A and B are shown apart, each in its own frame.
Chain A
Amino acid sequence: DTQMTQSPSSLSASVGDRVTITCRASQGISSSLAWFQKKPGKAPKSLIYAASSLQSGVSSKFSGSGSGTDFSLTISSLQPEDFATYYCLQYKTYPFTFGGGTKVEIK
């Protein structure tokens, strides 16, 4: 199975900060990488697919990059509604695997 390692596991940031979360795959996955936002009691929300394609309706403050084994999600200017847990997902090979999550908290 392809293991996905996210870092950091948590971070504290202020409103207006630029935040970057990274995800590393245990083997090459080309660009088969997605990012999701998860808030407690809510369904996950898809942000990015194919490593850098923005889902329809998602704010352009979210951006993704990378290919092969190293990927990143950047939030250009953190807003109160962005405090949540973020997960990466590889879908190159079965079983699909999520990263462990990055909890973004208010500083």
Chain B
Amino acid sequence: EVQLVESGGGLVQPGGSLRLSCAASGFTFSDHHMDWVRQAPGKGLEWVGRIRNKANGYTTEYAAPVRGRFTISRDDSKNSLYLQMNSLKTEDTAVYYCSRSPSGNILDVWGQGTTVTIS
């Protein structure tokens, strides 16, 4: 079964840091681009960023609100995706989801989400 499981969410004070993890199973993790998407309370979905697969050099892209504060990384040997969040702001409060993007497809499988509260 294809599965993504996020962890690492919690309550952090403004200015603090947090590292989210996403454990993948049931598919060849290294072949896929991986994305983070968030949803703030009462708001819509917001794309956070992407890390491409090894074939594409593990390069990254970020949304403007998080660029320079968040870093996406991956460890293909552990089938794991990470989101390092620094200089956290109250507006970063959200449920954070990881998702995979196979070649020719986009965000086809999602994790259950992990909640981050900045207060």
Contact = CB atoms under 8 A, between A and B. Distances in A.
Contacts of B82: none
Interface in B41-63: 44-47, 50, 61-63
Given A44-B37, A91-B106, A100 B47 contact: no
A98 B106 contact: no
A75 interface: no
B47 A46 contact: no
A104 to B, nearest CB: 14
9 contacts: A34-B107, A36-B107, A38-B39, A46-B109, A50-B104, A89-B106, A94-B50, A95-B62, A99-B44
Contacts, number: 59
Give the size range of A's interface with the partner.
Answer: 20 to 34
Interface of A: 1, 34, 36, 38, 43-46, 49-50, 55-56, 85, 87, 89, 91, 94-101
Interface stretch (B12-20, B23-31, B84-92, B110-118): B110-118
Contacts of B61: 94-95
B68 to A, nearest CB: 14
Q: Is the interface of B mostly helix, strand, loop or mixed?
A: strand
Interface residues of B, number: 24
A34 B62 contact: no
Contact of B97 (A43, A85, A97, A101): A43
A25 to B, nearest CB: 15
Nearest to B63: A95
A96 B45 CA distance: 11
Nearest to A55: B108
Given A36-B45, A89-B47, A98-B46, A43 B107 contact: no
A43 B97 CA distance: 8
A39 B103 CA distance: 27
Contacts of A94: 50, 61
Contacts of B35: 96
B94 to A, nearest CB: 13
B62 to A, nearest CB: 7
